[in-house]
A and B are shown apart, each in its own frame.
Chain A
Amino acid sequence: MSRIVVDVERCEGHGLCEQTAPEVFRLDDDGELHLTHEEVAPERESAVAAAVRVCPVAALRLQP
């Protein structure tokens, strides 16, 4: 199972990941990113990859 790695310094709270995969990525009221799961279940693999891809500042990475 791959893992999601967040570069906290880079994350600027755009929220595009949350729009793409809301079941995994959540921005709180302060714009801070929280992961509901760090490990990516196979059925979520493509949604999470899409969320990683849309990050405008490349703050997200998938680690195999």
Chain B
Amino acid sequence: MRRIVVVGGSIAALTAAESLRAEGFEGQVTVLSEEAHHPYSRVPLSKGVLAGRQDAESAMLPPPGEDIEFRTGARAVRLDVPGRMVTLADGTQVPYDGLVVATGARARRLTGGNDLVVRTLDDAAALASRLAGAGSVIVVGGGFLGMEVATTCRALGLDVTVVDLVPPLLRLLGPWLADLAVAAARDHGIRVRVAPDGVEIAGEHYLRCGESVLEADVIVCAVGDLPNTDWLRDSGLPLDTGGGLVADACCRVAPGVVAAGDVVTREGRRTPHWTNAVEQGRAAATGLLHGASARPYRPDPYFWTEQSGLDIKISGELPLTGPPEVLAGSVADRSALLRWRHDGATATAVAVNHRLPVVKLKRLGAGAPAAAATPT
């Protein structure tokens, strides 16, 4: 292999590119990013950047080394797998010997494309400027992102309502932890409205929920993300029904093609989280260079969120059923170290406003000795 092309410009793409070098690949490495910006982290976008506490500069990631070519504004529109060729929006053809697909995901939108979302740096900047003159906001979607955006809007002094078809965080976390977080949200002054009959954006300031219509200065959508695989439609690469690119345990997709990050579906699901993007980026690099002899990637289920005055860190599988063991602290004070044990001797550990190094949390949760003892 002489030339490896990485399509994508975020943390999975960069990690894959650097990992190729770390693994001793000496050929050409080219990263094609569609965004105009240099690489940045999405993590602070819903928090500090949106709140105006952090400028965009603080979200920027260290650029890749000089032995990696990083192209901005390079949007891939087509892939020819047998011909090993990526075509860009401007018609440029980029040949490769090895390909890493790390095109991530985009915000799902409820209307044709005008809804305000929080996915890219530009999205966050656009939303921040709209919030600056606003008094009220409706956040559609009660997942991690929606609740984080709601929290930030509250901190800006706005009147905030979160609307979802189901109680916020319920599907993600399970009832016990979702209840705790929603109670904290209400105490934080965030209104929560469940609209089982569906929601529909009915103009810039109106949201229809069943029979009633809610009004706010700004409506933000945080209703999930969609994998960026439109450019792969005709490639013959395996896409699942949700559009995710199907990869194996070593992140391999097809001969000469690997994938990493939010774009990937593995064992029937996507896991669009930071830790996962980093670990898949590494695994994709080794999978591409070493093929079947590469070490399979083992997912590390680790999630964190900051919302409504809660700092929640989770190691282990979700959602959670039943009440937890309280290992430290107090649930009433919303500061506790919690653990759920599952069938099969695995566990999920959760720290709520409880400072504990993440490596220790993982020893109690996904990395608990019982779980680690399962055959690898």
Contacts and interface: CB of A to CB of B under 8 A. Distances in A.
B11 interface: yes
A2 B21 CA distance: 20
Contact of B357 (A16, A31, A49, A56): A31
Interface in A29-53: 30-32, 45-47, 49-50, 52-53
Given A46-B18, A50-B22, A30 B360 contact: yes
B1 interface: no
Contacts of A14: 275, 302, 358-359
Interface string B269-307: 000001100100000000000000000000000101000
B120 interface: no
Interface stretch (B59-67, B128-136, B148-156, B204-212): B59-67
A6 interface: no
B67 A13 contact: no
A53 B67 CA distance: 17
A58 B41 contact: yes
A54 B360 contact: no
A43 to B, nearest CB: 11
Interface residues of B, number: 30
Given A16-B278, A46-B21, A53 B61 contact: yes
A13 B358 CA distance: 5
A56 B277 CA distance: 11
B330 interface: no
A46 B359 contact: no
A6 to B, nearest CB: 14
B100 interface: no
Interface in B21-58: 21-22, 39, 41, 43-44, 58
B22 A53 contact: no
A16 B362 CA distance: 13
B374 to A, nearest CB: 21
A56 B18 contact: no
Top 5 A-B pairs, shortest CB-CB distance: A31-B357, A13-B357, A46-B65, A50-B18, A49-B62
Interface of A: 12-16, 27, 30-32, 45-47, 49-50, 52-54, 56-58, 62
20 contacts: A14-B359, A16-B278, A30-B357, A32-B357, A45-B65, A46-B18, A46-B21, A46-B64, A46-B67, A47-B18, A49-B63, A49-B65, A50-B15, A50-B22, A52-B62, A53-B39, A53-B61, A58-B41, A58-B43, A58-B58
Given A14-B359, A56-B43, 6 more contacts: A30-B357, A30-B360, A46-B64, A46-B67, A49-B63, A49-B64
